[in-house]
Amino acid sequence: MERKIRILVAKPGLDGHDRGAKVIARAFMEAGFEVIYTGIRQTPEDIVEAAVQEDVDCIAMSILSGAHNYLFSRVMELAKEKGIEDVLVIAGGIIPDEDISYLKSIGIAEIFTPGTPTSYAVDFVRKNVKR
């Protein structure tokens, strides 16, 4: 039986605008993924704990608040601590170009900024999940 891709869609931090997260969650569902949607105001601890219990193949984070450098690096730290560093981590939202190289250096596999077709994100996940 084909193994289903399980993906966590979460919004770290305090911004409450989740339209983008919902659109991408829906696109992942249409692609046949099982999407664990956790919604807004998630701490990095919440996100990593959910990823462990749900045994996801990918964590997708959406953020608009500008706190991405801090929150994402905390997620990556905790992922390592909990032994799930093999999980693919991607992100999207309002993220300035000059932050992207830093975020990639801490292990975020790809950053999807406004205007990215959802199919591009879906293909990226399909090609890059490690398990």
Does position 94 interact with another protein (CB under 8 A)? The reply is no
99 lines the binding site for another protein (CB under 8 A) = no
Q: Contact 108/91 with Cβ under 8 angstroms?
A: yes
CB 13, min distance to another protein, A: 15
Q: Which of 15, 34, 77, 99 binds another protein (CB under 8 A)?
A: 34
Task: Confirm if 65 and 15 have CB atoms less than 8 A apart.
Answer: yes
Contacting range for another protein; rule: CB under 8 A; set: 30-38, 62-70, 98-106, 109-117: 30-38
Binding stretches for another protein (CB under 8 A): 1, 3-4, 6, 25-26, 28-39, 43, 45-46, 49-50, 52-55, 82-84
